Amino acid sequence: MPRTEFLATGFHVPSRLVTNEDLAGMMETSDEWILQRSGIKTRYWVGPGETGVGLAKAATLKALAKARLQPADLDCIVYCTCTPDHFEPGNGVFLQRELGLSDIPAVDVRNQCSGFLYGLSIADAWIRTGQYRTVLLVGAEVHSRGLDKTTRGRDTAVLFGDGAGVAILGPTVDDGRGVLSTHLFSDGRHAEKLWVDGPGLAHDPFVSHEMLDQNLHRPVMEGREVFKFASTLMPQSVQLALQANGLTLADVKLLVPHQANLRIIEMVRQATGLREEQVFINIQKFGNTTAASIPIALDEALDAGRLRRGDVLVLTAFGSGFTWGSAAVRW
């Protein structure tokens, strides 16, 4: 059975750079508070006319060019987002249409910050079994339009950014290289600890003025709980990835964690025992871009020469649901 390799990666962020000072003009917050609590200095937010699918298309075209492939070479699209352009249908088919494709499957994955890992696991299974050969895996989010940008929503609004990151995946015959393992977990007992309650079909009517007045359409988070679980479960899933493949910490060239919060990443690093140079961090520039954060970070890491053929890469994520997991890849 072949393994799955990354043929190319790419990312795209909107043109509007938003600094912590810009946020301090919208709500009661400060550069100092945001930096100290999250490590974030800037993030990118969409402007007029920009959409999640538009960001995903731009990232896809960059990755296709790097892989020297055309859209027609893609056999399948796996689109991971928790901030779709529309309720229905999912973003996958809109991206497919934008790429000029009409006869390949497009599937949407709704697993928030762990979306890219879940999508990778699905794509990996399809590639290994030969069902699809060249898979476009997308993580893309537009959070900014959904955030409460007043002081009421400041605990979440300052953390999130918009962006898209993609990977083009295909089978490798080179023994030993490729995706070695994926481990996925979820625990719905914590679903309401980071969620958007409505609009939703659990409500009757599914959308109402009262719902909007109550701010149910904004993400709400029990920040400390998220922090506690993330900083415990991400290190455990990294250790699992290493154990499953008979690897040690010294074997890891790079850990690319979901960029949720600098303090969470630092706790993951300390709990696993990895050295600073083994962990890639770019949250200071982009904020938390949820399903897009791992592919954006991976593309930047590759651009910076942090990963070479044969190196061991570990990915880990944690997010709303709660969902979490890890992947190990021999590059």
| DSSP reduced 3-state for 127 | helix
Give the Cα-Cα-Cα angle 8, 13, 14 (nearest 5 degrees). Answer: 150
Residue 288 is a catalytic residue: yes
Catalytic-labelled residue, pool 113, 143, 183, 261: 113
- Residues contacting residue 158 through CB under 8 Å, at least 6 positions apart: 20, 23, 27, 29, 33, 34, 38, 40
Task: Compute the least distance from the CB of residue 231 to ligand ACO, in Å.
Answer: 9
Helix, strand, coil share (%) of the chain residues, nearest 5: 40, 25, 35
**Among residues 288, 289, 316, 323, the one that binds ligand ACO under rule CB under 6 A:** 288
**Taking the C-alpha atoms of 285, 143, 116 and 159 in order, what is their torsion angle to the nearest 10 degrees?**
50
* Residue among 54 and 139 whose Cβ is closer to ligand ACO: 139
Query: Binding string to ligand ACO for residues 228 to 267, with x set by CB under 6 A, is what?
Result: --x-----------------------------xx--x---
The answer to whether 289 and 161 have CB atoms below 8 angstroms apart is yes
Catalytic residue at 80?
A: no
Which of 137, 144, 177, 111 has the alpha carbon at shortest distance from 11? 137
- C-alpha angle 296/187/136, rounded to 5°? 30
Footprint of ligand ACO on 24-43 (CB under 6 A): 29, 33-34, 37-38
Q: Which stretch binds ligand ACO (CB under 6 A): 8-16, 98-106, 152-160, 301-309?
A: 152-160
- Choose one: 153-161, 178-186, 210-218, 271-279; the region binding ligand ACO (CB under 6 A): 153-161
Q: Is 190 in the site for ligand ACO (CB under 6 A)?
A: no
**Residue 159 engages ligand ACO in binding (rule: CB under 6 A):** yes
323 binds ligand ACO (CB under 6 A): no
Tokens at 185, concatenated: 């977990």
Collapse the DSSP code of 163 into the 3-class scheme (helix H, G, I; strand E, B; otherwise coil) and give the result: strand
Q: Binding of ligand ACO at residue 134 (CB under 6 A)?
A: no
Shortest CB 19 distance to ligand ACO, Å: 14
Judged by the rule CB under 6 A, the positions of this chain that interact with ligand ACO are 29, 33-34, 37-38, 113, 154-155, 158-159, 194, 221, 223-224, 226-227, 230, 260-261, 264, 288, 318-319
